[in-house]
Chains A and B, each alone.
Chain A
Amino acid sequence: MGISMRSMVMLNFQVNVRSGLRRHRLLAAMLAAFLGLVLLEIFDPATSGIFPPCPVHYLTGWYCPGCGSLRAIHQLLHGNLRAAWAMNPLTVVLLPFLSYGLVSSALLELRGRGLPQPFSRAAWIRALGAVIVLFGIARNLPLHPFDWLVPGALLHL
């Protein structure tokens, strides 16, 4: 009896410590994300040097599927949907889904249950991966309709 009580107390303690750690981790992540958004709102990555460059573009000179994302988010924070679209249309399309997914992950951490996932079939995820890769290839093609996908190209029509 004494042993089982002790092990129950231990178990409870471990669970509490674990959920406490998770909560702290989540809070730290949310704080970091908020600070990042504030920095993105104040500084334009297109003109300010405080944001690091895209590693892929920096090393190879190719545009990756994410190139222009920070500039797009900066423009979105200022309400310029058209400029954001010109920087990275894929990011603009994916952002609502990513935000939903992040909220769902946070809820999963907090209460053990996320939000409904209507696109959770494996086929949807593979299709999304294919779209990301094809977008990355397309924006590097030196052919006319595709060069509109280069970050910012649509702004200089």
Chain B
Amino acid sequence: MFCAQCGANNADTAIVCMQCGRNLQAAPPGLAAPGVPLPVTGVVLPPAPGVGVQNYLVFAILATVFCCLPAGIPAIVYAAQVNGKLQVGDVAGAQAASNNAKMWCFISLGLGLGVIVLYMILIMVGVLSGIHGN
């Protein structure tokens, strides 16, 4: 099933779009022709269930590859869980997995930055002791 709002390919059983969170089950007829984006207005509409549930996959991969591998892997696993749970319509479970994915991204970022700071301190100490030795 393709989402009428963003065009993402969802499982036929999906209740909300895993990309944009649009409600796929109760699409109002006529309003949601495929490929026609909804008009953007200044009105704050009540969010459909699943809106804003991000999987943070891009950041999980960036964290794994650039920051800290061991903490990035759980972030990827939780990112997969977010989409798996959205596929079966478990919005609450997806939100919980999303929070975990975000948390592990930050843990990975923190550990990576920690090692970098440690490295810089070691270099400074090395430079200072070098100056002192001379």
Contact = CB atoms under 8 A, between A and B. Distances in A.
B80 A115 contact: no
A136 B69 contact: yes
A133 B65 contact: no
Nearest to B74: A129
A120 B66 CA distance: 22
B130 to A, nearest CB: 14
Contact of B79 (A112, A115, A125): A125
A52 B61 contact: no
Nearest to A100: B58
Contacts of B84: 122
B116 interface: yes
Interface in A11-34: 11, 15
Given A58-B119, A120-B8, A114 B61 contact: no
28 contacts: A15-B44, A52-B116, A55-B112, A55-B116, A65-B65, A65-B69, A90-B65, A98-B58, A98-B62, A101-B61, A105-B54, A113-B6, A113-B20, A116-B6, A117-B9, A117-B18, A120-B10, A120-B18, A120-B55, A120-B83, A121-B11, A121-B83, A121-B87, A122-B80, A123-B80, A125-B76, A125-B79, A132-B76
Interface residues of B, number: 42
B58 A116 contact: no
A143 to B, nearest CB: 21
A132 to B, nearest CB: 6
Contacts of A120: 8-10, 18-19, 55, 83
A114 B19 contact: yes
Interface in B63-82: 64-70, 73, 76-77, 79-81
B44 A11 contact: yes
B63 to A, nearest CB: 10
B58 A105 contact: yes
A101 B56 CA distance: 10
Contacts of A111: 40
A69 B65 contact: yes
A132 B57 CA distance: 13
A1 interface: no
A66 B76 CA distance: 15
B6 A129 contact: no
Given A55-B112, A122-B84, A129-B80, A116 B7 contact: yes
Interface in A39-91: 52-53, 55-56, 58-59, 64-66, 69, 90-91
B38 to A, nearest CB: 9
A66 B80 contact: no
